[in-house]
């Protein structure tokens, strides 16, 4: 009995004194082993069990490798150096390739402004030119197309200058006849002037040929560049030069409008496009044309930078053409006559702006009065021919003459 009780007591003691000594967990094999060691048998040597030997063990095994991998010392390698920035030329090329076509912005139609937009896009992307250079190249191409007309206008202008004394003499006679109301002499001098100019092969319209032909090109370029700036084409924002980098907005320093107006005035003054003010005479018209750049400045100062770049470029090209055509060898090559410098006494006196304006205004009023007088005479003539004959006498002389007795009776009464 006592022996059984002692065995039970020993079993309970073993159950309480056995504890988990350690848990071995491998890194990769996922083996989990729990070993129970005897930590309470040192006081019970009679059982003959060593405390270093496990008497109970449980292992949880998965089908995995039992090889333990060593963790590298450097888990993260060294951070590499950041890549260098691409060259500006590469950035420009990439941006040009990634730029959307103008057709995606609703531009590039089959009308003249749309064709100009497509041509400018080809020059910008195909040749890799900035927008300011693209606009200038396009302007040069258009001016080369008009250059033959410039030669014809210069030939006519040279002839007009050489025959200016005769032309001004006939013009003065015609104006004098109009002032006196002599329509017959005015018509006669006008016919003489027409015959003289035709015989010499000169005409004022030939001098104005270049501005008239350039007008459609100018309007087309104006509408094309304004449409691209209003869209806007994003590359135009950085396609300028110097202080006008953004071509979609007006020049904030007003230098481009000032340069445009100044070059326009010089172009008109020297007759770079073939229309010389001397051929128009000393009247009001010449002064009015000279005032165009001053009148236009308040309007062009609000134009987009792209439009002003085109306008300034065409003015400078006109000045360059004028300087080139002043070279004697160039004039000989293009068969342009040498201009004759006439004495001041051979030409009409130069009138000032105020005097010329007053004279032109009086001539306009006189011409209007003469026209009204002619219309009134014509209406009176028509009325007299179609209406009844007005009575301008006391009695009808064609009627039968009354007898003398009746006449004497009327006198007595």
Confidence band, pLDDT 50/70/90 cuts, at residue 280: low
Alpha-helical runs (H) found in 73-163: 88-98, 112-126, 131-162
Q: Which helix (H) or strand (E) holds 34?
A: strand 32-37
How many degrees, rounded to 5, is the angle at CA 248 between CA 244 and CA 252?
45
Q: Which helix (H) or strand (E) holds 2?
A: helix 2-17
Q: How far apart are CA 6 and CA 11, in angstroms?
A: 9
> Is the four-CA dihedral 155, 159, 162, 164 of positive or negative sign?
negative
- Tokens 């165009």 locate to 292
**Closest Cα to residue 38, out of 59, 52, 24?**
52
Residue 172 token pair: 């003065």
For 183-213, give the secondary structure using H, E and C: HHHHHHHHHHHHHHHHHHCCCHHHHCHHHHH
Confidence band, pLDDT 50/70/90 cuts, at residue 56: very low
**Closest Cα to residue 351, out of 293, 283, 276, 401?**
283
pLDDT tens readout for residues 214-259: 888 999 999 999 998 888 888 888 888 888 888 888 888 889 999 9
Rounded mean pLDDT, 135-153:
90
State residue 390's pLDDT score.
73
Does the pLDDT at position 338 exceed 80?
yes
Q: When comparing pLDDT for 310 and 344, which is higher?
A: 310
Q: When comparing pLDDT for 76 and 310, which is higher?
A: 310
DSSP 8-state symbol, 396: -
Q: How far apart are CA 227 and CA 244, in angstroms?
A: 18
State residue 27's pLDDT score.
41
Strand residue runs (E) in 171-277? none
Residues sharing a CB contact under 8 Å with residue 242, sequence separation 6 or more, in sequence order = none
Which of 61-70, 223-232, 370-379, 396-405 ranks highest by mean pLDDT?
A: 223-232
Q: How far apart are CA 20 and CA 4, in angstroms?
A: 28
Q: What is the pTM of this model?
A: 0.60
**Closest Cα to residue 274, out of 203, 332, 171?**
203
Mean of all residue pLDDT scores within the chain: 75
- DSSP of 306-332, one letter per residue? HHHHHHHHHHHHHHHHHHHTTSHHHHH
- Tokens 């004028």 locate to 322
- Residue 51 backbone phi and psi in degrees, to 5: -80, -10
Rounded mean pLDDT, 329-354:
77
**Closest Cα to residue 32, out of 7, 54, 64, 10?**
64
Q: How far apart are CA 330 and CA 343, in angstroms?
A: 26
Coil, strand, or helix at residue 411?
A: helix
CB 134 within 8 A of CB 116: no
DSSP 8-state symbol, 20: E
Q: How far apart are CA 15 and CA 201, in angstroms?
A: 137
Domains of the chain, by residue range, sit at 9-60, 100-163+202-361
Q: How far apart are CA 358 and CA 323, in angstroms?
A: 35
State residue 311's pLDDT score.
92
Residue 23: beta bridge partners?
A: 34
**Closest Cα to residue 124, out of 314, 306, 315?**
306
DSSP 8-state symbol, 334: T
Q: When comparing pLDDT for 365 and 264, which is higher?
A: 264
Other CB atoms closer than 10 Å to residue 328's CB: what's the count? 9
Cis amide prior to 332 (ω within 30 degrees): no
């Amino acid at each position: 009995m006592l022996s059984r009780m002692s065995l039970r007591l020993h079993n309970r003691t073993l159950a309480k004194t056995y504890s988990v000594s350690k848990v071995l967990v491998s890194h990769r094999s996922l083996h989990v082993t729990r070993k129970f060691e005897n930590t309470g048998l040192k006081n019970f040597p009679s059982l003959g069990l060593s405390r270093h030997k496990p008497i109970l063990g449980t292992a949880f095994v998965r089908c995995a490798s039992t090889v333990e991998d060593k963790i590298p010392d450097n888990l993260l390698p060294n951070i590499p150096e950041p890549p260098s920035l691409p060259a500006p030329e590469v950035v420009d090329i990439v941006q040009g390739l990634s730029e959307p076509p103008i057709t995606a912005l609703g531009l590039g139609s089959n009308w003249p402004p749309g064709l100009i937009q497509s041509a400018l896009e080809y020059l910008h992307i195909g040749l890799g030119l900035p927008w300011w250079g693209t606009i200038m190249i396009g302007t040069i191409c258009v001016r080369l197309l008009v250059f033959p007309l410039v030669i014809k206008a210069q030939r006519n202008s040279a002839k007009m200058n050489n025959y200016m004394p005769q032309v001004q003499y006939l013009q003065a006679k015609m104006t004098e006849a109009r002032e006196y109301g002599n329509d017959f002499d005015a018509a006669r001098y006008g016919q003489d002037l027409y015959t003289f100019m035709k015989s010499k092969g000169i005409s004022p319209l030939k001098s104005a040929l270049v501005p008239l032909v350039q007008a459609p090109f100018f309007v087309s370029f104006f509408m094309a560049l304004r449409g691209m700036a209003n869209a806007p084409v994003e590359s135009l924002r950085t396609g300028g030069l110097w202080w006008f980098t953004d071509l979609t907005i007006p020049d904030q320093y007003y230098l481009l409008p000032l340069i445009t107006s100044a070059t326009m005035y010089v172009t008109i003054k020297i007759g770079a496009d073939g229309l010389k003010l001397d051929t128009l005479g000393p009247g009001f018209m010449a002064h009015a044309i000279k005032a165009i750049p001053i009148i236009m400045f308040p309007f062009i100062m609000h134009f987009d930078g792209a439009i002003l770049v085109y306008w300034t470029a065409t003015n400078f090209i006109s000045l360059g053409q004028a300087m080139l055509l002043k070279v004697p060898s160039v004039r000989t090559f293009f068969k342009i006559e040498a201009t004759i410098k006439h004495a001041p006494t051979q030409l009409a006196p130069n009138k000032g702006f105020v005097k010329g304006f007053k004279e032109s205004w009086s001539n306009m009023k006189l011409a209007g009065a003469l026209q009204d007088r002619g219309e009134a005479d014509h209406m009176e003539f028509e009325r007299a021919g179609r209406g009844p004959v007005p009575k301008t006498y006391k009695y009808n002389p064609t009627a039968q003459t009354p007898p003398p007795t009746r006449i004497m009776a009327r006198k007595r009464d």
